[in-house]
Structure 1
């Protein structure tokens, strides 16, 4: 069976040390809250990232950190994947952190060392889709975003690669007018992402795709509450 779909949304690319300061009236449409990432136990997003890097034996990032994520909209956020590009003081990329959330309230971070083409590989460690067990490897393409966003995550298991997700977009300045336009076109955008995942999961189940049991997830320091 082949199954594919497209979903339109908008995301934020922000400097972790210079988060957007929106007019008060627009703040419910975009909030960046530390408790939404890295287990929620750190006072700031940067502190949460540094705690995770330390748990992996990596020195804190001394340079700029770019985060690609959904913001909290009207009090709700769901990020299937959040990406952190960590640079050193000279501006060279040190590593990428991919934080993955599933719809069961679990999360896991992957520390990635990308090559010159932005490619990285890591073992799958979190139950994400109910139709795949926790095995195989992710092949990722995570180039630093420029004017365009071009992200690919592919799951490889024995016998093939049954799942591929891509994320494409065009960079726009986050002016108040642009944010209002995006919010009108994609109302409650993060809730729509969560609902879309559930909707397609139900449809696949009704089509007869077998469900795999969900194992307990072993949290790591600085990741899960």
Structure 2
């Protein structure tokens, strides 16, 4: 962003994303539909900047100024889907936390039967940045599978693997413990595609019976109880985000 743009504020799509109204892509659709007004006038061009004191309306409703960037650690239990609206009517993470948090989005997802650390934030731009494989954040899991894995097959995953025509990036997987017919694996990856671990393990002839995310980048599940939610202090965000992400978006601040 140029110095001139910085002085003028955020582009309207980014501003609406930070305010929790819509993703940037959806905001651009709202612009095209004429649903957005700035200081009483309809705006349609994405190169519209929002400054301090401007009044933005979406479908006639005034949008509150974006809050500072906030991030929470959530210990997601199984049985919840990570989506705002589920067409099948299943319980969602956001329904569960509706009365505890402002409007937030997830950094990545955990599917219905997966558990563990889910990062939640009110900053859509930050969420997208942290999800990118190019950001380089490692996601670590404990995975229980039925059967005894072949160590050589696990080691080969570090070179990437193609399953069903889909190419998955390098995965680090090692045997952690064995209990009867079950084996616990320590699994690490950087992409985190939909059901990636389950599909790769099935490709190796292993059935996943439990999947727990224990870390996302520098943030750990730790001793956070199942269903527990805890905000990451701003000081910790300032320490961790720049160092881990290279050049992440700057933390948003209150506008007065």
Tell me if TM exceeds 0.5: no
TM-score (norm 2): 0.28
Rg comparison, structure with higher value: 2
